[in-house]
Amino acid sequence: MQDQKQDLIRERAHAIWEQEGRPEGRHAEHWQRAEQEFSSSGQQPELTAEGATPASDSAPQLNPGDDAAPGTPGTGEDVCPDCQGSGRLQGRTCETCGGTGIVIKGVAGG
């Protein structure tokens, strides 16, 4: 139902607003983003239930060649061994580094 959808969007917009530290005067932007989440995915995003910890939606994206997330203590960026830092392998995007040409490797002796 349309009314129900409006309610969901309002809740989602509110959640986004809170996640961003409750900035002032950004209501329209958050509403727009909430609407886009509904329309783009075709499915309802998980609403943050009261008191519940949001799912790890801030989890860093790892490539297959990464040992750890960027910024993890004891790790550092290294040139991708498969594509030699070009980000491409045999004319295609290198999957090891996700096309970045860089992988995150554990630094020995840390």
Nearer to Zn ion, 13 or 80 (CB): 80
Q: Work out whether 16 is an interface residue with Zn ion (CB under 5 A).
A: no
Please spell the DSSP secondary structure of 90-105, one letter per residue. TTEE-TTTTTSSEEEE
> For residue 55, is it left (φ>0), alpha (ψ between -120 and 50) or beta?
beta
CB of 74 to Zn ion, least distance (A): 22
**x-or-dash string of contact with Zn ion, 76-95, rule CB under 5 A:** ----x-xx----------x-
What's the CA gap between 69 and 83, in Å, rounded? 20
The contact set with Zn ion (CB under 5 A) reads: 80, 82-83, 94, 96-97
